[in-house]
């Protein structure tokens, strides 16, 4: 019902969620297909110039073969194809799906510079926070229009839900009073009370409809018994495929309770690293020692085991009528209701499911397995925000180890206690989630830039006669006794400050941290900021004294 009205001459372009499999040819040819809606004259005269401009603006090589590009670059080419016709409205369907962080950051920087109105569907809360100025929300079959940014939306939504809960409580109280009245018998059915009876029937219908609308995924990890304290000890491991080095000289320790995020561009080798960490792939150098009593559940491997022709229930229960949950049989249709599948939907073949529903099937299979180590490779694609937040809370409270590959910055911030990152210099580990890594990385790059600037601005060493070179002005300034003592003490001080920062990050990542009083949380945050500032000052002083 209804209609969509566009202004005369308005152009609409769309970026699809999935890359078409049959799309081939040079990048310039793929982009040029976006001008098909122009008139023949415009396409002939303006087309080549527009294609050249958009390729330059989006840093795309015209002659590159589309089929050989990474998934992130393919999405960039498709975006260029959508933009080459200079649309008035650009529709984006889950634009960050299957993109690595580098591609997502580029997209966030690029999109605000175009003139088109953006209308996008996304589960990526970071992307939503950085771009949205208005939010359309579909909640329980109704559409709500919030003219605000994402953070303001969260506050207003929380207030609206609180008001709705209060209204529902009043409604339920009134319904209980009417139910008590109707049980009085014959008096309630007198002619003059028929209106009141009809009103009660309507209240019953409203309450039933409300209960049917409200649905939230229920997630609970099955206990497989505690693993040993050590999950994996990784010592100077290296691995390469031909000339492509995946990891070189990397060491880490994974303990029970660790929540480790893995960040890297597509094709960097994140999945390969996971296999090495868990002892499933032997490194070409170095050593991996895995712990005892490990029961590992893999989210990503389950994708390969799904059968599109079988029903949801058969995929989860493998043809049986029940699944074992906490050692007790449970009917698969009842279990799947925890994941918002009605009995009819649970009998539906997988090939008819949406991307979000397929991921809920994966979660149903994952949490049907007893585990004390959970491995998730891009679990957030297509999941709605409520399910994402619930998955976050389950993983944070899980007392086993979690290894998590994700491009979802908010998810990493909320779950990860440390982050392994594929950087240009190699694989490095940082304390905390995405924002913690970005902050530490920025501080390191700033320090490197400062050192480079000092080297560039340093006076050139000119060979002088012996008597000149031996003069006091030709020699480096000699440190005083106190300065020399200070320089010798600085490495230990820096190490102490870094250990303190690590301890603070770990305590702030603990689930119970935010259950403290506001004063204690504020004190811990202030302590972290002060220690970080002290560390930065110590590094600057070290550089000064070393000359």
* Alpha carbon distance 132, 282 (integer Å): 45
Closest CA to 124 of 95, 90, 103: 95
Q: Which CATH architecture has domain 12-140?
A: 3-Layer(aba) Sandwich (3.40)
Closest CA to 424 of 271, 274, 268, 275: 268
Q: Which CATH architecture has domain 222-431?
A: 3-Layer(aba) Sandwich (3.40)
Strand partners for 420? 262, 429
Specify the pLDDT at position 37: 58
* Alpha carbon distance 348, 353 (integer Å): 8
Whether 502 contacts 531, CB under 8 Å:
no
Concatenating the DSSP letter of every residue in 136-153 gives: EEEETTEEEEE-S-HHHH
Whether 374 contacts 365, CB under 8 Å:
no
Specify the pLDDT at position 507: 75
Q: Provide the H-helix boundaries in 367-406.
A: 385-397
Specify the pLDDT at position 453: 65
| Strands, E assignment, 101-181 | 117-121, 135-139, 142-146
Q: Which two tokens stand for residue 445?
A: 């790059």
pTM of the predicted structure, to 2 decimals: 0.66
Closest CA to 99 of 74, 136, 81, 80: 74
Specify the pLDDT at position 132: 94
Specify the pLDDT at position 466: 45
Largest CA distance in the chain: 122
Place of tokens 């501080």: 443
- What is the distance, to the nearest Å, from the Cα of residue 192 to the centroid of all Cα atoms in its chain? 60
Whether 329 contacts 291, CB under 8 Å:
no
Q: Which two tokens stand for residue 203?
A: 């209240």
Specify the pLDDT at position 185: 65
* Alpha carbon distance 403, 45 (integer Å): 54
- For the chain (length 547 residues), average pLDDT per consecutive 10? 86 84 88 72 66 86 87 84 88 85 87 90 92 89 88 89 82 80 63 69 72 61 72 92 89 92 87 88 91 83 75 88 83 87 89 83 85 87 79 87 92 93 91 90 76 61 46 56 78 79 72 69 80 80 73
Q: How many helices (H) and strands (E) does the chain have?
A: 20, 18
Specify the pLDDT at position 467: 46
Q: Which fold has domain 462-546?
A: Helix Hairpins (1.10.287)
Specify the pLDDT at position 152: 92
| Cα 202-208-211 angle, rounded to 5 deg | 145
Specify the pLDDT at position 135: 93
């Amino acid at each position: 019902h209804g209609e969509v009205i566009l202004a005369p001459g308005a152009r609409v372009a769309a970026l699809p969620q999935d890359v078409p499999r049959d799309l081939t040819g040079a990048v310039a040819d793929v982009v040029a297909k976006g001008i098909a809606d122009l008139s023949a004259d415009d396409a002939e005269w303006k087309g080549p110039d527009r294609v050249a401009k958009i390729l330059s603006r989006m840093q795309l090589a015209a002659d590159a073969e589309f089929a050989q590009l990474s998934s992130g670059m393919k999405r960039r080419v498709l975006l260029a194809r959508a933009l080459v016709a200079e649309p008035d409205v650009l529709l984006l369907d889950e634009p960050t799906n299957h993109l690595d962080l580098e591609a997502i950051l580029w997209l966030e920087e690029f999109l605000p510079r175009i003139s088109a109105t953006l209308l996008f569907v996304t589960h990526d809360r970071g992307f939503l926070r950085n771009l949205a100025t208005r939010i359309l929300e579909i909640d329980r079959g109704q559409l709500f229009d919030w003219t605000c940014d994402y953070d303001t939306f969260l506050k207003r939504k929380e207030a609206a839900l609180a008001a709705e809960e209060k209204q529902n409580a009043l409604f339920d109280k009134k319904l209980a009073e009417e139910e008590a009245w109707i049980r009085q018998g014959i008096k309630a059915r007198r002619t003059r009370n028929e209106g009141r009876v009809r009103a009660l029937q309507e209240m019953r219908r409203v309450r039933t409809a409300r209960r049917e609308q409200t649905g939230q995924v229920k997630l609970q990890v099955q206990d497989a018994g505690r693993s040993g304290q050590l999950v994996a000890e990784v010592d100077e491991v290296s691995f390469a495929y031909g000339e492509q080095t995946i990891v070189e000289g990397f060491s880490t320790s994974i303990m029970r309770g660790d929540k480790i995020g893995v960040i890297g561009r597509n094709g960097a080798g994140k999945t390969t690293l996971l296999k090495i960490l868990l002892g499933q792939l032997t490194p070409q150098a170095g050593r991996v020692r895995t712990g005892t009593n490990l029961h590992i559940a893999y989210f990503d491997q389950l994708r390969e085991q799904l059968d599109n022709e079988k029903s949801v229930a058969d995929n989860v229960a493998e043809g049986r009528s029940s699944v074992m949950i906490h050692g007790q049989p449970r009917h698969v249709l009842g279990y799947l209701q925890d994941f918002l599948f009605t009995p009819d939907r649970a009998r539906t073949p997988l090939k008819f499911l949406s991307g979000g529903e397929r991921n809920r099937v994966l979660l149903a299979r994952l949490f049907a397995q007893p585990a004390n180590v959970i491995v998730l490779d891009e679990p957030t694609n297509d999941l709605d925000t409520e399910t994402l937040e619930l998955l976050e809370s389950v993983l944070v409270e899980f007392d086993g180890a979690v290894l998590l590959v994700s491009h979802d910055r908010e998810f990493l911030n909320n779950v990860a206690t440390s982050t392994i990152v594929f950087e240009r210099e190699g694989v490095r580990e940082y304390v905390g989630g995405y924002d913690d890594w970005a902050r530490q990385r920025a501080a390191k790059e700033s320090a490197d830039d400062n050192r480079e600037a000092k080297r560039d601005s340093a006076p050139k060493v000119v060979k002088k006669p012996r008597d000149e070179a031996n003069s006091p002005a030709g020699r480096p300034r000699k440190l005083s006794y106190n300065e020399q003592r200070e320089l010798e003490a600085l490495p230990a001080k820096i190490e102490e400050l870094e250990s303190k920062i690590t301890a603070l990050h770990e305590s702030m990542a603990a689930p119970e941290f935010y259950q403290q009083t506001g004063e204690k949380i504020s004190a811990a945050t202030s302590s972290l900021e002060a220690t970080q500032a002290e560390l930065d000052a110590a590094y600057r002083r070290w550089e000064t004294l070393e000359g």
